[in-house]
Amino acid sequence: MKRRTGRLAVYCLLGILAAAFAALGLSACSGGRWDIAAGADSTVTAQLVETENGTELRIGGRGEMRDFEEGGAPWQDRAEEIAAVTVGSGVTYIGANAFAGIDADYVILPSTVTAASENFADEAMKIFVFGDVDFASEPALVYTYREEEIVTRDRFWQSDKSSGDIIADGEDLSSADDGRYWRYVREDSDEAQVYEKLKVLFIGNSFTYRNGVVEFSSGVPGLFDGIAEDLGFAVETYSITGPGWYLESHANPSDRCGRQVDKLLSACDDFDYIVLQDQSTCPYRENARFLNGVERMCEKIESTQTHAEVYLYETWGSPFSSAEDGTTIAEMESKLRSAYTAAGEQFGLHVTYVGAAFTDAYYNGGIYLWDTDNRHQGFAGAYLSAATHVGSMLGADVRETAFTGEGLYGAPALGEETLTALREAAYRAASGELAVIDEGEQGPDGGEDEEQAQILKIACWGRFMKEEKFRRLVDGFETYAQENGVEYREIAATYYEGAATSDPYYYIANFTAQVYRDGDPDIVLPCATNFNANQATLAAVEFVPVDVYGQTDRRVAAINDDALTKAFLDYVRTDEAAAILAAQD
């Protein structure tokens, strides 16, 4: 009898607890599932599932989910662990506080969901919908599904090349594509991503508008746009630039560029990102002027824009400017890095460390990034700059892009190894892994030992010279060296087939990329004066004009300035060498 009484007491206790749970709105959990249905005609359940990407909350069934008191969802004690939320088709209503405290980036509400209670998710969570949903209170971040491509209309204005204004008086740049959208990463994927137009404005000078191929172009912003869109972003890119311009000038409404900045910012208050680039040496040579320019531009942006994030564009050390300073490229970049970092901290701005990416790619990757003036960006440098901006600003993994820029304004094809190295350097800089170089290091061509200095490496481009002529020229130099007391250990002369389009080195990018892989040469011939701009891995320090088969626009290019290289340049100026080169064979 006592036992039966004990059992009855237990049953009563269980009944009381069940009633209490029901009264509190809590749900029973059976087999790892919670019954969270709002009524008898609903079958909605929830469960936590461990996946390779972390803990996932899965909501399934049909009908309405119940509302929860604040902190009352049955998975609340594990909310911070939940990395993803999945709502199955058939669910029609999302209850109050259902996803509160969950750290997932987004949740997709299926097309069956027609309503949601207030406070069903935190403000930071993106809500992806397929159509209209009756929200009790509109979430902060709602995105509508879209398959159609978003149309973007880029504009690039350059003070010395563009006519008219970047925006006409009274012109409206808004469009139906300006809303918030989302789409699946791929057709066969359940992973989603935001797909909305991002408006980006670059303000700067030739370190922004040049691309190492032509003087007037979309430059770095154009390459930025190409990489970003290849990675799935819809970017509408603008630029306002002038040769040698300072940020102080851009901030002045009476300045030629400053007037355009005023017009555009006053007409468009919805830029997402604005990039500020100052004159290349101003941040450390004239720091007060630099800081004043940044401050005045920030004031202008804050007074006109609703939500723009400002990025300072740290530029690079260069052979030309570092020589002016009596420093190394790395030391110059270090001064720029410090100045931009300090300004970013002072004004609460982001910094895109393009200069650090240059230092990395040059010293650690051996890639020559500058144009023929050894100061501005060559095409490889422009590509590196653009990739670093994409990674820093948009948070994208630029190592995944397939965009090369080949053909853009006649841009050369960069070799795959070069592209990989540039993307890796951009990724590291954008991720905060900034290169640090020993002050004594001279770069990939520095520190040549005595034995190497006695080896002359000559690379001949077969597109413009037959191999027999090349060998006669090399033999002639050996004789010249003996007669003039020029000492050397070895002459390593390599001929690269390129006479026909089917030959492996017909195109300059293929030729220079292979030459770079084979080890930097001392001499490259024959080439033209645009040699530096049209390739990515080698840069001449001196050109000697020569007549090859009657083509008087050819050049012999010296890649370094050591004694043996200079001796070869002296030789090609001799009548004997000229006769060999000009002969029609």
Confidence of residue 16 (pLDDT cuts 50, 70, 90): very low
The tens digit of pLDDT for each residue in 44-75 reads 999 999 999 899 999 999 999 999 999 999 99
Which pLDDT belongs to residue 444? 60
Strand, coil or helix: what is 72?
Answer: coil
Inter-residue contact 398 to 383 (CB < 8 Å): no
What gap in Å lies between CA 201 and CA 209, rounded to an integer? 12
Distances (CA, A) of 224 to 111, 196, 364: 35, 17, 23
Compute the residue count for the chain. Answer: 585
Out of 293-302, 345-354, 415-424, 502-511, pick the least confident. Answer: 502-511
Hey, CA dihedral for 162, 378, 389, 312, is it positive or negative? negative
Helix (H) or strand (E) holding 184: strand 181-184
Written as one letter, the residue type at 69 is E
Show the tokens assigned to 53.
């990407």
Which pLDDT belongs to residue 511? 84
The tens digit of pLDDT for each residue in 302-337 reads 999 999 999 999 999 998 888 888 889 999 999 999
Question: Is pLDDT above 90 for 374?
Answer: no
What gap in Å lies between CA 211 and CA 329, rounded to an integer? 20
Inter-residue contact 523 to 558 (CB < 8 Å): yes
Question: Is pLDDT above 80 for 204?
Answer: yes
Which pLDDT belongs to residue 415? 86
Which pLDDT belongs to residue 19? 44
CA-closest candidate to residue 198, choices 170, 171, 225, 167 = 225
What gap in Å lies between CA 420 and CA 21, rounded to an integer? 59
Q: Which residues of 111-121 are buried (b: 16+ CB within 10 A; e: fewer)?
A: eebeebbebbb
Which pLDDT belongs to residue 313? 99
CA-closest candidate to residue 196, choices 405, 401, 394, 391 = 394
Inter-residue contact 233 to 225 (CB < 8 Å): no
Which pLDDT belongs to residue 27? 47
Out of 373-382, 450-459, 482-491, pick the least confident. Answer: 450-459
Instruction: Estimate the crossing angle of helix 467-483 against helix 575-582, to 10 degrees.
Output: 170
Which pLDDT belongs to residue 220? 95
Mean pLDDT of 510-529: 80
**Between 376 and 294, residue with greater pLDDT:** 294
Show the tokens assigned to 92.
């029609």
What gap in Å lies between CA 165 and CA 262, rounded to an integer? 11
**Between 177 and 4, residue with greater pLDDT:** 177
Could you identify the residue written with the tokens 């409404």? 253
The tens digit of pLDDT for each residue in 243-294 reads 999 999 999 999 999 999 999 999 999 999 999 999 999 999 999 999 999 9
Confidence of residue 523 (pLDDT cuts 50, 70, 90): very high
Which pLDDT belongs to residue 3? 39
What gap in Å lies between CA 224 and CA 272, rounded to an integer? 15
What gap in Å lies between CA 106 and CA 127, rounded to an integer? 6
What gap in Å lies between CA 133 and CA 127, rounded to an integer? 11
DSSP-assigned letter for residue 140: S
Diameter of the chain by CA atoms? Answer: 126
What gap in Å lies between CA 464 and CA 383, rounded to an integer? 29
Show the tokens assigned to 79.
């909310």
Which pLDDT belongs to residue 564? 94
Which pLDDT belongs to residue 324? 85
Other beta carbons within 10 angstroms of residue 26's beta carbon come to 18
CA-closest candidate to residue 328, choices 441, 207, 160 = 441
The tens digit of pLDDT for each residue in 137-174 reads 999 999 999 999 999 999 999 999 898 999 999 999 88
Inter-residue contact 173 to 151 (CB < 8 Å): no
Out of 185-194, 209-218, 262-271, 302-311, pick the least confident. Answer: 209-218
Which pLDDT belongs to residue 190? 82
Distances (CA, A) of 571 to 155, 320, 474: 50, 28, 10
Domain 155-169+194-430 has CATH 3.40.190.80: no
Could you identify the residue written with the tokens 């003087």? 215
Which residues fall within 8 angstroms of residue 30, CB to CB, at 6 or more apart?
A: none
The tens digit of pLDDT for each residue in 70-108 reads 999 999 999 999 999 999 999 999 999 999 999 999 999
Confidence of residue 214 (pLDDT cuts 50, 70, 90): low
Q: Among residues of the chain, what percentage have pLDDT more than 70?
A: 88
Confidence of residue 241 (pLDDT cuts 50, 70, 90): very high
The tens digit of pLDDT for each residue in 398-431 reads 999 999 988 776 777 788 999 999 999 999 999 9
Beta strand 542-548 pairing with 551-558: antiparallel
Residue 182 dihedral angles phi and psi, to the nearest 5°: -145, 160
Written as one letter, the residue type at 247 is L
Domain 450-582 has CATH 3.10.105.10: no
Q: Among residues of the chain, what percentage have pLDDT more than 90?
A: 70
Inter-residue contact 384 to 364 (CB < 8 Å): no
What gap in Å lies between CA 240 and CA 563, rounded to an integer? 45
The tens digit of pLDDT for each residue in 560-578 reads 888 999 999 999 999 999 9
**Domain ranges (residues) in the chain:** 22-145, 155-169+194-430, 450-582
Inter-residue contact 223 to 386 (CB < 8 Å): yes
Inter-residue contact 245 to 204 (CB < 8 Å): yes
Confidence of residue 450 (pLDDT cuts 50, 70, 90): low
Helix (H) or strand (E) holding 336: helix 329-347
Which pLDDT belongs to residue 30? 44
Distances (CA, A) of 476 to 201, 486, 509: 56, 13, 29
What gap in Å lies between CA 161 and CA 170, rounded to an integer? 23
As a whole number, the mean pLDDT across the chain is 89
